Every structure is written in C-alpha cells, then in structure tokens.
Amino acid sequence: MNFALEKRISEAARTAIEELYGGEVKAEMVQLQETRAEFEGQLTLVVFPFLKMSRKRPEDTAQEIGERLLEKIPDVVSRFNVIKGFLNLSINPQQWIGLLEQIWQDPTFGFVPVTETSPLVMIEYSSPNTNKPLHLGHVRNNLLGWALAQVMQANGNRVVKTNIVNDRGIHICKSMLAWLKWGQGETPETSGKKGDHLIGDYYVAFDKHYREEVKNLVEQGMDEETAKQEAPLIKEAHEMLVKWEKNDPEVRALWRKMNEWVYAGFDETYKALGVSFDKIYYESETYLEGKEKVEEGLQKGLFYRREDGSVWADLRPEGLDEKLLLRADGTSVYMTQDIGTAKLRFQDYPIDKMIYVVGNEQNYHFQVLSILLDKLGFKWGKDLVHFSYGMVELPNGKMKSREGTVVDADDLIATMVADARQMSADKVNKLENITENEAQEIARVVGMGALKYFILKVDARKNMLFNPEESIDFNGNTGPFIQYTYARIRSILRKADEQGIVPQKLTTCELSDKEISLVQHLQGFAAAVRQAGQDYNPSCIANYCYELVKEYNQFYHDFSVLREEDEAKRAFRLALSAAVSQVVRNGMGLLGIEVPERM
C-alpha cells in the first residue's frame, strides 16, 4: 500500500475517532492492514483499541468511524463494510490509478537512492582455494554474495564487493608437488583444460598417491595416524611449504605460475555466473599483516603467549573458549589471516558495515572474529555480519572434495544451458526470424536464470536440495516461469507500440478487484526490497517476483489488454503490464538474473 495514502487514512481516522468519542488517539493505536481476500475492500482498520472510548459494540463503532471517513476523505475512501470489529475500506479507484502511474513512470521504483554520504557496506564472498575449481557450494556462495550486494545497494548503501583468495598453505603445495612429480610440463594450453581444472586434477592425484602411501605404511605395521604424518608425499609437501614461507625463488615462481592458471579459470566461471568484485585480497598478502596485528594485541595485553611460544586469546569472559592465534613455530592460522585482511580493508575503505558470506560451518569462527576485531579497535568489528548459509546437496547426495566427485561449477552451468535449450526448443523455434545465436543466447539466459533462481528462492540459512530438472520447469516457482511471463508482457507491449496505442497518461476508469490487487502487489515491491535488506535475505525478492507474475497471469487470463474497447481501461491495462514488466526486470536484476525480451 502507498505509504502516503496509508498515512492520510490513519490521520483522518485519528481525527474522526477523537471527534466522535473525545480523548486523545495515539498514532500506534490506528492499525491498518491489508483486507483479507475473502472480504470486500483493500485496507482494514481494527477498531478494538477504541471500544473503551466509544463504549459501544464493535460493529457500531466501526460503522460510525466508516461514515465519518466517507465524509472526511471521499477522494480516498469510496465505500466501506463492517465485519465484527473490523472496518474494511474500499479505496477510490482514482487513487489506484494514480499509484500505478507513479510506479509506471519511475524506472527505479522501490529503490533508495545512493549518495556520497550513504553508509559504506563491504561484502566478502567467494573465498576460493587455488588448488581446485569452483563447485556447487561456491555457486551458492557467489550468487548469494552478488544478490546481497545488489539488495544492499537498492536499500541506499554504497557497496564494495570483495573476495579473499586462499592462495597459500599446505593444500596449495599438494597440487604444486603433484604437478612437479607427474605433470611433465603440462599447461592449460597443452591439455586443453581450464587452469583451475588442471590444478584440481593434480590435487586429486596427490590425494590418490598419498592414500596409497598411507595404506602401504599401515600394511607394514605402522598405525594409521603415524602413517599419515610419515608418508613421504606429505613430508615433501610440508618441506615445500617451509620453502615457500622462506621465499624460495623456485617454489615461489612455480606457485605464481600455477596460481595464474587458476585465476584465469576462475575468471571464466565468474563471468558465466555474472559476478565480479571491486577488490580482491590474497591470503599470501594478508597473513603477515595479521601476524603483526596479533603481536600488537599481545603488546597491549589483549592476548597472551604460552610457554611453547604460541599466542592465544582468552575469550572465556565472553562465554567462549581460548583461541589460538599464532602457532608455537610462529605460523598463522585462519583467524590470523582474517584479522590481517580486516586491517588492509579498513586501510583501503572507510567501512561502516562488514558482511561475510560464508557457510554455517564457520558460525563459531565469525563469533570469535567479531570479538577479536572489536578488541583490536575496528569500529565495525562488534557489528560485523556473518551471512551464514546452509549447504547445497544434490538428489544423489552430498559432494566430496578431495576424491574428485565434486559437482563442478562449469559442468553445472553447461548442463543447465544445454537443458534450457532442449526444454525451450518448442517455444523458441516458433519465434519469427530467430537466429541460431539468438536461440543460444536465450538458452543461456534461461539456463542461468533457472540455476540462480532455484538457489536464491530458498532462505539462505537453510540447507537446500538443488534439483536441476525441477529448476528448469516452465511452470511453478521457477526462474523460467518468471522469465516467460516477462517475455509475454514485452510481446504485448511491442504489439501495442506497433498499433500506435501506447498510453501517455491515465484517466479515470472502472477497475476490477483483480486489477486493484495487482497494483497492490506492485506497490509491495518497495517493502520486499526493504525487507530483503533488513533481513539480509534475497529470497524475499525471488518469492515476491513469483507472486507478482502469478497474479499477473491470472489477470491476463481473465481480462483482455489489446482488445479492450474502452480506451481508458486499455491504457490502464497497458500501463499495468508495463509496470509489472519493469518491476520484474528490476527484481530479477537484484538477483543477478537476466530476463529475455523474447522467449
């Protein structure tokens, strides 16, 4: 409902009640809500709070208030009906026409403008390791991070999108060592593979050979835990890590070369997903900053050093436990890296709020990080947001990482586009003058829309089951269903343009309940955007878009648009269609989902 309209009705109701019954009516006593579908009207005033003042039955009180509102604001309230203690108000059709015109003429309806003084929100997402390609879990992370960034910007924030790349550590050395041993100089060019896939293959190869070594040692009588530490491969990997830490030129050169292969591969996947970053940080550059910050905290008495030389934070006063920050040998842990990254980010940007998009298995980590950053003096530390999301599973079970059975992001994207091409073939082939390139582009848009929408319509906090077949259905709560409705509306508007019946201004006409309901749904976009930002929940936008197109399809089934003979009604319905398409495009855009003009 239009805020200005609600405010006017509320103020008129307060005045009416004070005139009728005496006494002061506080603003919070006037409760307006959308009228339930089974009753006539669009807004309902709850009259129970005023019975002590009226000393009359609920029905009589509601009747008197309704009659007074008709006298005071006849241009807003056209009629009313009373159901027990509820006063159902029918809004004057001209108000709905004015509201539609306002939405129709505003291409950024529902969005809060961003200015130079708007709060600065930094959002971290993706966080890949450079020893393997992105997988389905990364897909959910990236889509959530990108959508959240768009939602926060739509709520009037300046947004900086960042990525922290985990490019150092024993897992990176495993891939490097495997390539040295068995790679025979293989490159992305000679293999025909994306760089991240090539390196991922060597990570899997390392694990395969390592497990064989452990198995052999166990068979020779060694216990499994000792075997895991004594296996030659893992020892070599640790030696390589020590050399990396000491800036060994050969190890560092190999590390840089292989990482570049991976980054090129990541960039292809990010482009296919439609996500990007304003700033990328690298763990190899932030962990030393973190160590410095921990040493600073040690000097200030915020942390303490144990006899073995390790550094700890005692968080027992905060109801947590003790947290390791530096190992006895001086090497860093993930927490150290996150502190260092925070330091660099705060130097680079005047952050007002920091949001980390990371899976729910890291809930405790971010609880600790928030306390540590606050102790170290970062103003946003205490209020950092861990946008915690659940895991993604497929119908055939969970994904596994080191065994090479991960659901690869690139394979998933290619499959979705191919399935979309197959599913939409009948519809696309019927389009006039469609070229092969256009058909393939529609398949890409629909396939990626299916993938993104199916993931983003679920509340991020929940674990989810991703079903590719279900996601690409052209019926039900899916991306293709919304995209197809959008394309249908755009077709109607093109035909109107061809016939020269594009409305310039709307005039008074009789409206059906369905048309009024659709305008109400349109008005609700602003509230959905606001709610998504307050709750850090892009699924609010996804499900709003679905409800809107479902409502539009019912309207389109019941009413003629282009064939309507009444000029004022036809103009209203064309404007209504245009406004729906505009809001759908903007809403889906917040989710990173494209909508095709033809389909």
Helix (H) or strand (E) holding 569: helix 567-590
Q: Is residue 194 part of a domain?
A: yes
Residue type, 468: P
Residue 147 CA to residue 153 CA, distance in Å, equals 10
In the prediction, which pLDDT does 401 show?
42
**Do residues 65 and 186 both lie within one domain?**
no
| 491, 495, 501, 503 alpha-carbon torsion, rounded to 10° | 10
Extract the tokens encoding 200: 């991922």
CATH number of the domain residue 39 falls in: 3.30.1360.70
User: In this structure, are strands 279-282 and 158-165 parallel, antiparallel, or unpaired?
Assistant: parallel
Residue 47 CA to residue 30 CA, distance in Å, equals 8
Extract the tokens encoding 161: 């999108």
Chain Cα centroid distance, residue 378: 26
Residue 135 CA to residue 125 CA, distance in Å, equals 14
Q: Is residue 312 part of a domain?
A: no
**Do residues 415 and 528 both lie within one domain?**
yes
Q: Which residues are CB-neighbours of 495 under 8 A, at least 6 positions away?
A: 562
**Do residues 54 and 193 both lie within one domain?**
no
**Do residues 413 and 537 both lie within one domain?**
yes
pLDDT per residue, tens digit, the chain (599 aa), is 566 788 899 999 999 999 999 989 998 999 999 899 899 998 999 999 999 999 999 999 999 999 999 999 999 999 999 999 999 999 998 899 999 999 999 999 999 999 999 999 999 999 999 999 999 999 999 999 999 999 999 999 999 999 999 999 899 999 999 999 999 999 999 999 999 999 999 999 999 999 999 999 999 999 999 999 999 999 999 999 999 989 999 999 999 999 999 999 999 999 999 999 999 999 999 989 999 999 999 999 999 999 999 999 999 999 999 999 998 888 888 899 999 999 999 999 999 999 999 999 999 999 999 999 999 999 899 999 999 999 988 776 544 444 445 688 999 999 999 999 998 877 776 777 888 899 999 999 999 999 999 999 999 999 998 888 899 988 899 999 999 999 999 999 999 999 999 888 899 899 998 999 999 999 999 999 999 999 999 999 999 999 999 999 999 999 999 999 999 999 999 999 999 999 999 999 999 999 999 98
Task: Mark which of 277, 301, 329 sits at the end of a domain.
Answer: 277
Residue type, 30: V
- CB-CB contact of 131 with 172 (8 Å): yes
- CB-CB contact of 477 with 546 (8 Å): yes
In the prediction, which pLDDT does 430 show?
74
Please list the residues that pair with 34 across neighbouring strands.
43
**Do residues 418 and 532 both lie within one domain?**
yes
Return the number of other C-beta atoms located less than 10 Å from residue 333's C-beta: 17
Residue 408 CA to residue 393 CA, distance in Å, equals 13
Q: Is residue 383 part of a domain?
A: no
Q: Which 3-state string (H, E, C) describes 360-415?
A: HHHHHHHHHHHHHHHHCCCCCCCCCEEEEECCEEECCECCCCCCCCCCEHHHHHHH
CA neighbor of 71 nearest in space, from 3, 4, 16, 10: 16
- CB-CB contact of 178 with 170 (8 Å): no
Task: Mark which of 91, 123, 151 sits at the end of a domain.
Answer: 91
Chain Cα centroid distance, residue 452: 10
Chain Cα centroid distance, residue 484: 22
Q: Among all chains, which residue has been given the structure tokens 């959002």? A: 123
CATH number of the domain residue 549 falls in: 1.10.730.10
Q: Among all chains, which residue has been given the structure tokens 């293709």? A: 480
Question: Computed over its alpha carbons, how large is the radius of gyration of the chain?
Answer: 30
**Do residues 175 and 46 both lie within one domain?**
no
**Do residues 83 and 181 both lie within one domain?**
no
Q: Is residue 598 part of a domain?
A: no
Helix and strand totals (H; E) in the chain: 22, 14
Residue 479 CA to residue 132 CA, distance in Å, equals 29
CA neighbor of 592 nearest in space, from 268, 156, 121, 139: 139
Angle between helices 409-423 and 136-154 (to 10 degrees): 80
Question: What is the maximum alpha-carbon separation in the chain?
Answer: 97
In the prediction, which pLDDT does 406 show?
67
**Do residues 426 and 548 both lie within one domain?**
yes
Domain boundaries, position 43: 3-91
User: In this structure, are strands 304-305 and 311-314 parallel, antiparallel, or unpaired?
Assistant: antiparallel
**Do residues 68 and 195 both lie within one domain?**
no
In the prediction, which pLDDT does 2 show?
64
CA neighbor of 487 nearest in space, from 530, 541, 428, 434: 428
Q: Is residue 236 part of a domain?
A: yes
Task: Mark which of 63, 91, 119 sits at the end of a domain.
Answer: 91
**Do residues 55 and 194 both lie within one domain?**
no
Residue 6 CA to residue 16 CA, distance in Å, equals 15
- CB-CB contact of 141 with 125 (8 Å): yes
Extract the tokens encoding 169: 């550590």
In the prediction, which pLDDT does 37 show?
84
CA neighbor of 516 nearest in space, from 75, 74, 100: 100
Chain Cα centroid distance, residue 307: 46
Q: Is residue 195 part of a domain?
A: yes
Q: Is residue 137 part of a domain?
A: no
Number of domains present in the structure of the chain? 3
SS3 content of the chain, % helix, strand, coil (to 5): 60, 10, 30
In the prediction, which pLDDT does 400 show?
46
**Do residues 85 and 194 both lie within one domain?**
no
DSSP per-residue codes, 27-76 = GGG--EEEPPTTSS-SEEEE-GGGHHHH-S-HHHHHHHHHHHHHHH-TTT
Residue 339 CA to residue 348 CA, distance in Å, equals 14
Q: Is residue 9 part of a domain?
A: yes
